[in-house]
């Protein structure tokens, strides 16, 4: 069965600093990979996805992620964080389907001014 690990439970960055959130997955073939963001009391918003092709994918709000098969990773990056980026970020993997997702435990991002 597939699994997802987000090793950082909580990260604090200063506004304007760069950000990298880590995600490692376990799955034998090429998975469907996603990053979602959740603000308190809200549902999940899709930031970006990887299905195949170019391993560097661009998403909304200035986020990007890179798929590295050799490291089984799909890390999320942003060059300059804004205070409004404070939220919880979830990495998710789909094994052969994009509609049955296994989620990581999430990384809570705090942004200091």
Partner 1 sequence: KAGVTQTPRYLIKTRGQQVTLSCSPISGHRSVSWYQQTPGQGLQFLFEYFSETQRNKGNFPGRFSGRQFSNSRSEMNVSTLELGDSALYLCASSLRWEYEQYFGPGTRLTVT
Using rule CB under 8 A, residue 42 touches partner 1: yes
Report, in Å, the least distance between residue 41 CB and partner 1.
Answer: 8
Using rule CB under 8 A, residue 19 touches partner 1: no
H or E stretch covering 13: strand 10-14
Using rule CB under 8 A, residue 106 touches partner 1: yes
| Residues 61 and 49 sit within 8 Å (Cβ to Cβ) | no
CA distance 83 to 57: 23
Name which position in 11, 19, 86, 98 contacts partner 1 (CB under 8 A). 98
Report, in Å, the least distance between residue 17 CB and partner 1.
Answer: 27
Using rule CB under 8 A, residue 70 touches partner 1: no
Where on the chain is the footprint of partner 1 (CB under 8 A)?
A: 34, 36, 42-46, 49, 51, 90, 92, 97-106
């Amino acid at each position: 069965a597939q699994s997802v690990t987000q090793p950082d439970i909580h990260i604090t960055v200063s506004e304007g600093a760069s950000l990298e959130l880590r995600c490692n997955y376990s799955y034998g073939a090429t998975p469907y990979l996603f990053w979602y963001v959740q603000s308190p009391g809200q549902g999940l918003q899709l930031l970006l996805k990887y299905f195949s092709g170019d391993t560097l994918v661009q998403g909304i709000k200035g986020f990007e992620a890179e798929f590295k098969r050799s490291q089984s990773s799909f890390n999320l990056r942003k060059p300059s964080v804004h205070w409004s980026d404070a939220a919880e970020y979830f990495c998710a993997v789909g094994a052969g389907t994009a509609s049955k997702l296994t989620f990581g435990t999430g990384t809570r991002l705090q942004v200091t001014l």
